[in-house]
Amino acid sequence: MSFFNKAKQAAEQAAVKAKEGVEDVQTKRDLNAAYGELGQKAFELVEAGELDRPDLVSLVERIRGLKAKLADDGSSAAPAEPAPEASDQPPAMPS
């Protein structure tokens, strides 16, 4: 096998590994977003009185405190920018 064929094969293997890495990162982002959605829904159910779980009390209280802090900070600060839309694309690579 010539040097160039070996180099080409190594480059192809590196490209496959990089693609798998990007797919893993995207899957982890999707999983994190799903956990966030689940948590938000659970919080809403607790707030509505439809879910009563003692193990969620401290988390719900923490969220209430953080929301109150944002409301207090928001009255004296500039309005927050909206969160960016979720993208199906992998994050940009630093240059």
- Split into its structural domains, the chain has a count of 1
Please write the tens of the pLDDT for every residue from 63-90.
999 999 999 987 765 555 555 555 666 6
Is 33 within a domain? yes
Query: Do 38 and 47 form a contact (C-beta atoms < 8 A)?
Result: no
Q: Evaluate if pTM is beyond 0.85.
A: no
Domain that holds residue 35: 24-74
State the chain's mean pLDDT as an integer: 84
Query: Do 63 and 57 form a contact (C-beta atoms < 8 A)?
Result: no
- What are phi and psi for residue 24, nearest 5 degrees? -65, -45
Is 45 within a domain? yes
Is 8 within a domain? no
Report how far residue 43's alpha carbon sits from residue 27's, in angstroms, rounded to the nearest whole number.
24
Rounded mean pLDDT of 15-19?
A: 84
Is 65 within a domain? yes
